[in-house]
Amino acid sequence: MPRTITARVNGAAIRTFRVLRNLNTRELAERVETTAQHISNVELETRPCSAVLAQRIADALAVDCDAILREPLTVTAAQRKRTTGTAA
């Protein structure tokens, strides 16, 4: 089973962008295909966020993914191999 790569997100930044776009947690959750509780937990940084979900959130908020990350998301060949089964 592939492992999920997690992203260190800036929950406060996600909340700020969400509020600026007049979205509540339920509306953002619908756009990224998760639950409002999960969005709340990501914003509070009490639950890890997958790199895929971080990208979906950034897309839904119309911001670059780097705008919601605490540190750049880099995937090493070893991580890629663990998640996809290939190093390429």
Q: How far, in Å, CA of 17 to CA of 67, rounded?
A: 9
Location of structure tokens 């839904």: 60
Which whole-number Å values give the CA distances from 43 to 13, 15, 57, 74, 88, in the listed order? Answer: 8, 6, 11, 21, 33
pLDDT mean across residues, the chain: 84
Q: What is the pLDDT of residue 48?
A: 84
Query: What domains can you pick out in the chain, each with its CATH number?
Result: 6-84 (1.10.260.40)
Location of structure tokens 């790199």: 51
* Span 43-60, pLDDT tens digits: 999 988 888 999 999 999
Q: What is the pLDDT of residue 29?
A: 99
Q: How far, in Å, CA of 78 to CA of 61, rounded?
A: 31
Q: Give me the residues of the chain with pLDDT under 70, please.
A: 1-4, 71-88
Q: Are 69 and 54 in contact (CB under 8 A)?
A: yes
